[in-house]
Amino acid sequence: MHDTVLKRMRSIVAWTAVLAMTAIASVPAVHADEAQAKALFKAMSDYLAAQKAISFEYDTNLDIVTKDGQKLGLASSGAVTLNRPDKIRARRAGGFANVEMVFDGKTLSLLGKNANAYVQVQVPGTIDHLVDELRDKFHRPLPGADLLMSDVYSQLMPLVVDVKDLGSGVIHGVECDHLAFRTQEVDWQIWIAQGDRPYPCRYVVTSKQITGWPQYTIDLRAWKTGAEVATDDFSFQAPPGAKQLEPSDLPDIDELPGIFRRQLEGEK
């Protein structure tokens, strides 16, 4: 039995190597036009800023490497609906948590469906302000929040030290422009739908300052804007029997479960 498993694993490794070599051989030469890459990214940013109502579904994957060198992944899915400048509803479900967030321009409500408990915090202002407050004040950053800001270009470009246009790629059947950017701390890539609706289809962030270079990927699908977006009053109704927690108990919105934290810390 052990020998059979080893043979299967070796076969998988060999086949993976063949696929990798094939992929490398088929990769087109990187386009050197940095200005064109920036222009494509700016066009996406301007398109997003012009949309007052947006909704999409998403899938995320967080890849981490433990101290003993094992690569682990954490996957989740969800949906977002937002009305600029100050309303958003987001939900995320994974193997460890089922969370819904609602913001009506004044109050942030966060519901943990598995625990049937919720937190409400007063954070009056825009979606941009909410993102900043969650990150800087509450230390609870929204995953993929860069793409929710009113000016994505000005949020991400100032720290960029290298830009590459990698040509085109296909994400969920949509042909995209594939761009890669580097800063001192992170590498990030974005795939932008071609055509008159240049929305982000995939966003990948790789942390260079952490051992193992953990990587966060978010794929966006079912993209809708304007009248396509279902009406939402962005009000929060606590479910029956839900327990209200103190603002100091505000949980992580995309938390790393304890079992993964222990693996990262090398605990048994």
Residues contacting residue 258 through CB under 8 Å, at least 6 positions apart: none
- The CATH number of whichever domain residue 80 belongs to comes to 2.50.20.10
Residue 157 burial (10 A CB sphere; 0-12, 13-18, 19+): middle
E-state strands within 208-248? 215-225, 243-244
Label residues 183-216 b or e (16+ Cβ within 10 Å = b): eeebbbbbbbbeeeebbbbbbbbbbeeeebebbb
For the chain, list residues with pLDDT below 50: 4-27, 29-31, 255, 257-264, 266-268
**Residue recorded with tokens 């950017």:** 181
For residue 138, give its domain range: 30-257
Overall number of domains in the chain: 1
Angle at 234 between CA 230 and CA 238, to 5 degrees: 120
Residues 219 and 200 sit within 8 Å (Cβ to Cβ): no
Q: Note if the bond before 85 is cis, omega within 30 degrees.
A: yes
At residue 11, the pLDDT reads 46
The helix, strand and coil proportions of the chain, stated in percent and rounded to the nearest 5, come to 30, 40, 35
Residue 137 pLDDT: 85
Contact between residue 123 and residue 108 where contact means Cβ atoms under 8 Å apart: yes
User: What is the C-alpha separation between 29 and 95, in angstroms, rounded?
Assistant: 40
Q: Is residue 15 situated within a structural domain?
A: no
Q: Are 180 and 189 in contact (CB under 8 A)?
A: yes
pLDDT for 100 equals 92
Q: Look at residue 115 in the predicted model and tell me its pLDDT.
A: 86
pLDDT tens string 61-116: 988 888 788 888 889 999 999 999 999 999 999 877 789 999 999 999 999 888 89
Residue 5 placed within a domain? no
pTM listed for this prediction: 0.83
Whole-number Å distance between alpha carbons of 100 and 112: 7
Q: How far apart (Å, rounded) are the C-alpha atoms in residues 130 and 128? A: 5
Task: Answer yes or no: is 23 within a domain.
Answer: no
List Cα–Cα distances, 63 to 99, 198, 217, in angstroms: 20, 27, 8
Report the C-alpha dihedral over residues 173, 218, 159, 67, rounded to 10 degrees: -130
Asked if residue 1 is part of any domain, the answer here is no
